Amino acid sequence: MDISGASAIVTGGASGIGAASARLLAQRGAKVVVADLQADKGEALAKEIGGAFCKVDVTNTDDIMNAVEMAKSMGPLRVLVNSAGIGWAQRTVGKDGKYESAANLDAFKKVIAINLIGSFDCIRLAATAMSTTEPLAHGERGAIVNIASVAAFDGQIGQASYSASKGGVVGMTLPVARDLAAIGVRVNTVAPGLIDTPIYGDGENSEAFKANLQKGVLFPQRLGGPEELASMVVECVTNSYMNAETIRVDGGIRMPPK
């Protein structure tokens, strides 16, 4: 699919995998809406790539609609990348046998609300806009790429909420792709492994932590770069025969229990 002159929305686009995806989409000729809560980073990136910034909380439907309308004003909306997400680690039960020490249910709900429900809200609204665009060859109108995680398959101790949210993203990929086939919109999911993003922080302790993490990567034994994920995201967008698939990009890692 040719995305030159089309508009694209990247949620969580101000940093990490989202930012790398936004840059690469812009290099391919798309006008990118960087949809994020981080206004300073988002505005700077939008200026850098000739796009626009829209402050978006993916749990707020009005915010998502604003991003969709902004994208439509820049060109036919043909691309959505769902990269916004959070992680939360907590064990299911505590060590003292008290109900109060069991996992915080509100924290669990928040992760699901952002990573899973927020992704679906973005899909349903962006796809609605895509359905009104002029079709390209073979009736194609657009492509959606969700960012999941290998935690969808190899969830570690304490990752119940994160794994459930990302497993939900993987689980809805096929049925949503089947739904959107009627309007000529493809849906794929990319499941990153250990990627060197700001989530790990900065400084000596952060570097030591990452060095320990990468020992489990099969080959190459290092953390992945955001640009390596962005490459797969853009392939899923531009390759018109890629549909309804979840692709691990993880250096062959299979996560241990902890």
Determine contact, residues 197/139, Cβ cutoff 8 Å. no
Q: What topology is assigned to 7-249 in CATH?
A: Rossmann fold (3.40.50)
pTM of the model: 0.96
Which residue, among 16, 52, 50, has the nearest Cα to 34 in the 3D structure? 52
The tokens for 226 are 């955001």
Which residue, among 238, 115, 110, 202, has the nearest Cα to 166 in the 3D structure? 115
Q: What is the pLDDT of residues 72-124, one digit of tens each?
A: 999 999 999 999 999 989 999 999 999 999 999 999 999 999 999 999 999 99
Q: Which pLDDT band, with edges at 50, 70 and 90, does 210 fall under?
A: confident
What is the rounded average pLDDT of the residues 222-234? 97
**213 has a pLDDT exceeding 90:** no
Active site residues: 162
The domain segmentation of the chain, as residue ranges, is 7-249
Cite the DSSP H helix spans in 56-203: 61-74, 105-112, 118-130, 151-154, 160-180
Q: What are phi and psi of 78, to 5 degrees?
A: -125, -10
